[in-house]
């Protein structure tokens, strides 16, 4: 037990002096997520705010054929640019970057007077998310122009316009502001788990493959120290770095969200010091699992470079259950609590949504993660007892 | 005292060591001489217990390395072939790390480190990080690390590899000092002159077997007054040896 602590202390201090470990554990890992996140969310905010405020820009061709429509568009605040374009020219213009082009054809006038559907062409690029939104807005405005005209026509013929509306559809949106925020914050949980793993990445490499590459492994293995203590000390040191990284990451998230005005999107991020502490507690059982997994994988590698290659793949492992769950949009179930990373993701999401969490779920999540961690530790210690460990 | 009795080890189809027996006594320097790939390192690794022999046994001061590994190892200092240091730790921290893993703490560890620093001439770089050390400095720290628990037996695997003349001479003095203190020193080498100059006994290994096990003096006698090199070559030819 004392040997384990000696090893822990040495690995901890040694890596505190290693720039590579520090940059990845205390800078890249914990800050990458929150910064990327802050940027992403602010950009989304800017975009959606800009869209609702900015007037719709529309290029109209043949405005003279439809003076009523043109006036209506102007009263709805649409910024019209008049240009005479054929359909082919309009297609080319849209491809070149003009947002949306509306073409009123020559027959519009006569057909309108005869009360036969009068054709207009709306040229837009649905593959471009920006102009697709503009096209939707244009379609809405044109639709409301058409339906108000229809009502007038029915009235003029002595028919109640209500006859044309057999069903009235009213939307009721039950999304709460925090619930809406979860859509945005769903990613966040992955970044938290990512920060945990990043925190221990270099220590896991340095204490295994690094030991071998440096040539210090054989001397270490010939000491009167149980291999399980060796492995235990190394995993414990990795855990310590992971905890630091996790704490930094959560702090950074809390800070970032203090500056991101989520309320303007009709969301409220339920992320404050208290939730951050709960997140820390939820992720804590994942720490020994991550540390044991990385140490286990790194123990099989011969060099720093090889270990790096394998461990960057390991960084992606916690995404798999989360991605799987979101593709199939799985609802939280107690049985998922047996799947590490997914259970942490679901628990954190529930906290963000301000939902009640069954205590049993928390215990199950912790127990499952710790059990897997224990198995991996035993496997690692067993590998270290093998002769092949010498390489 | 280090005893190997009938040690054997195979790696897949290769029989690396085939029934090696010898004794390295206290107060003597025993050299293990053999060509590259003769099985020297495998033998030594079985002696300090990082490889398990397929047959035979190895004892340190009469303690079986397989049976009571930890106890046997506390009687043994090891300088493996690859004796790397932790670059981000100072020389002192490197030594202290191994010291505390050997169960030595506090004042005893400090005074032992100071003593080793004096004997090995490490005072000038004791507080420096090991990252930029020369090969000579590195071997000194590695040796101090192996000796920190004051073991009665020392095993060194090709310790002179990569050292310059000055450093080799230093190492030689250190080994003689250890012998004078009554310790058992066992080291491997593929350089005949080195072994001849330093050792009391020579164990010549070839193809995983002991080809000769004798005092340097008796080998010299057998040569009938010729040079030592001739004597060695004669031993090798008599025993169907190689190199």
B47 touches chain A (CB under 8 A): no
pLDDT tens, B5-40?
Answer: 999 999 989 899 999 999 999 999 999 988 888 889
CB contact under 8 Å between A224 and B103, yes or no, is yes
Mean local confidence (pLDDT), A95-117? 86
Residue keyed to tokens 């235990």: A232
Classify residue B59 as left (phi > 0), alpha (psi -120 to 50) or beta. beta
CB contact under 8 Å between B78 and A7, yes or no, is no
CB contact under 8 Å between A3 and B142, yes or no, is no
Q: Could you tell me which residues are beta bridge partners of residue A53? A: none
Mean local confidence (pLDDT), A40-60? 75
Task: Report the alpha-carbon distance of residue A351 to residue B56 in Å, rounded.
Answer: 63
B133 touches chain A (CB under 8 A): no
Q: Looking at residue A106, what is its pLDDT?
A: 87
- Measured at the alpha carbon of residue A297, what is the angle toward residues A295 and A301, in degrees to the nearest 5? 105
Task: Report the alpha-carbon distance of residue B86 to residue A388 in Å, rounded.
Answer: 22
Task: Report the alpha-carbon distance of residue A315 to residue B121 in Å, rounded.
Answer: 46
Q: Looking at residue A266, what is its pLDDT?
A: 62
Q: Contacts of residue B142 in chain A, CB cutoff 8 Å?
A: 219
At residue B243, does pLDDT exceed 60?
no
Q: Percent of chain A, pLDDT > 70?
A: 92
CB contact under 8 Å between B48 and A223, yes or no, is no
Tokens found for residue A53: 């405020």
Report all structural domains of chain B as residue ranges with CATH numbers, in order of start.
Answer: 1-75+152-243 (3.40.50.300), 84-150 (no CATH)
How confident is the prediction for chain B on average, in pLDDT? 88
The residue ranges of every structural domain in chain A are 2-46+177-390, 56-164
Please check whether residue A102 is in contact with residue A69, taking contact to mean a CB–CB distance below 8 angstroms. no
Q: Contacts of residue A217 in chain B, CB cutoff 8 Å?
A: 82
At residue B240, does pLDDT exceed 70?
no
Q: How far is A178 from chain B (nearest CA, A)?
A: 48
Q: Could you tell me which residues are beta bridge partners of residue B117? A: none
Chain A interface residues (partner B, CB cutoff 8 A): 2-3, 6-7, 10, 13-15, 17-18, 214-226, 387, 390
pLDDT tens, B46-104?
Answer: 999 999 999 999 999 999 999 999 999 999 999 998 889 999 999 999 999 999 999 99
User: Would you place residue A264 in the very low, low, confident or very high pLDDT band (cuts 50, 70, 90)?
Assistant: low
**Spatial CA neighbour of A299 closest among A215, A210, A374:** A210
Range list of β-strands (E), chain A: 57-61, 79-82, 101-104, 120-123
Please check whether residue A81 is in contact with residue A59, taking contact to mean a CB–CB distance below 8 angstroms. yes
Question: Which of A14, A217, A221 has its CB closest to that of B89?
Answer: A14
pLDDT tens, A14-36?
Answer: 999 988 778 877 888 888 888 88
Q: CA quadruple B180, B184, B188, B193: dihedral positive or negative?
A: positive
Question: Which of A14, A216, A222 has its CB closest to that of B73?
Answer: A222
How confident is the prediction for chain A on average, in pLDDT? 86
Residue keyed to tokens 């090893």: A7
Q: Looking at residue A33, what is its pLDDT?
A: 82
The CATH number of the domain covering residues in A56-164: 3.40.1710.10
Q: Contacts of residue B78 in chain A, CB cutoff 8 Å?
A: 218-219, 222
Radius of gyration of chain B (CA): 18
At residue A267, does pLDDT exceed 70?
no
Q: Looking at residue A269, what is its pLDDT?
A: 66
The count of C-alpha atoms lying within 13 angstroms of the C-alpha of B194, restricted to the half-sphere facing its C-beta, is 22
CB contact under 8 Å between B84 and A216, yes or no, is yes
């Amino acid at each position: 037990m004392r040997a384990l602590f000696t090893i822990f202390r040495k690995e901890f201090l040694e890596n505190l002096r290693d720039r590579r470990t520090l940059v990845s554990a205390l800078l890249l890992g914990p800050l990458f997520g929150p910064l990327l996140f802050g940027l992403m969310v602010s950009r989304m905010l800017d975009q959606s705010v800009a869209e609702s405020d900015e007037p719709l820009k529309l290029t109209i061709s043949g405005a003279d054929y439809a003076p009523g429509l043109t006036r209506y568009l102007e009263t709805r605040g649409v910024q019209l640019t008049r240009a005479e374009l054929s359909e082919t020219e309009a297609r080319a213009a849209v491809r070149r970057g003009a947002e949306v082009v509306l073409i009123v054809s020559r027959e519009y006038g006569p057909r309108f007077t005869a009360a036969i559907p009068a054709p207009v062409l709306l040229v837009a690029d649905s593959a471009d998310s920006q102009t697709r939104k503009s096209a939707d807005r244009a379609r809405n405005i044109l639709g409301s122009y058409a339906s108000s005209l229809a009502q007038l026509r029915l009235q003029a013929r002595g028919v109640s316009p209500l006859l044309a509306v057999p069903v009235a559809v009213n939307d009721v949106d039950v999304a709460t502001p925090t619930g809406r925020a979860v859509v945005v914050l769903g990613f966040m949980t992955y970044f938290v788990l990512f920060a945990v793993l990043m925190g221990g990445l270099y220590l896991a490499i340095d204490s295994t493959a690094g030991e071998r590459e440096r040539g210090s492994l054989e001397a270490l293995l010939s000491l009167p120290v149980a291999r399980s203590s060796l492995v235990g000390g190394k995993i414990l040191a990795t855990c310590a770095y992971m905890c630091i990284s996790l704490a930094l990451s959560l702090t950074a998230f809390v800070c970032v969200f203090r500056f991101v005005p989520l309320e303007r999107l009709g969301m409220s991020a339920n992320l404050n010091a208290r939730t951050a502490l709960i997140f820390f507690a939820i992720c804590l059982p994942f720490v020994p699992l991550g540390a044991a997994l990385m140490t286990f994988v790194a123990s099989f590698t011969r060099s720093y470079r090889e270990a790096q290659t394998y461990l960057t793949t390991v960084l992606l492992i916690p995404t798999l259950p989360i991605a799987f769950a979101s593709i199939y949009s799985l609802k939280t179930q107690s049985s998922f609590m047996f799947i590490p990373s997914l259970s942490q993701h679901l628990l954190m999401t529930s906290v963000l949504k301000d939902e009640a969490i069954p205590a049993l779920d928390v215990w199950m999540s912790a127990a499952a993660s710790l059990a897997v961690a224990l198995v991996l530790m035993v496997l690692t210690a067993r590998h270290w007892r093998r002769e092949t460990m010498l390489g | 005292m280090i005893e190997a009795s009938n040690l054997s080890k195979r790696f897949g189809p290769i029989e690396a060591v085939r029934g090696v027996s010898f004794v390295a006594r206290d107060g003597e320097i025993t050299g293990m001489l053999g060509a590259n790939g003769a099985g020297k390192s495998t033998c030594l690794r079985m002696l300090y217990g990082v490889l398990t022999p397929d047959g035979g046994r190895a004892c340190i001061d009469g303690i079986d390395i397989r049976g009571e590994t930890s106890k046997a190892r506390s009687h043994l200092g090891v300088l493996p072939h690859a004796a790397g240091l932790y670059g981000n730790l100072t020389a002192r921290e490197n030594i202290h790390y191994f010291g505390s893993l050997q169960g030595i703490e506090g004042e005893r560890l400090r005074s032992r480190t100071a003593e080793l620093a004096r004997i090995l001439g490490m005072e000038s770089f004791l507080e420096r990080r090991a990252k930029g050390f020369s090969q000579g400095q590195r071997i000194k720290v590695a040796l101090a690390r192996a000796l920190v628990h004051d073991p009665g037996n020392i095993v060194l695997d090709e310790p002179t590899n990569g050292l310059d003349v000055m450093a080799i001479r230093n190492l030689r003095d250190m080994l003689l000092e250890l012998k004078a203190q009554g310790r058992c020193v066992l080291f491997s080498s593929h350089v005949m002159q080195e072994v001849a100059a330093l050792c009391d006994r020579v164990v010549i290994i070839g193809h995983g077997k002991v080809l000769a096990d004798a005092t340097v003096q008796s080998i010299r006698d057998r040569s009938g007054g010729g040079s030592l090199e001739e004597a060695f070559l004669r031993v090798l030819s008599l025993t169907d040896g190689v190199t």
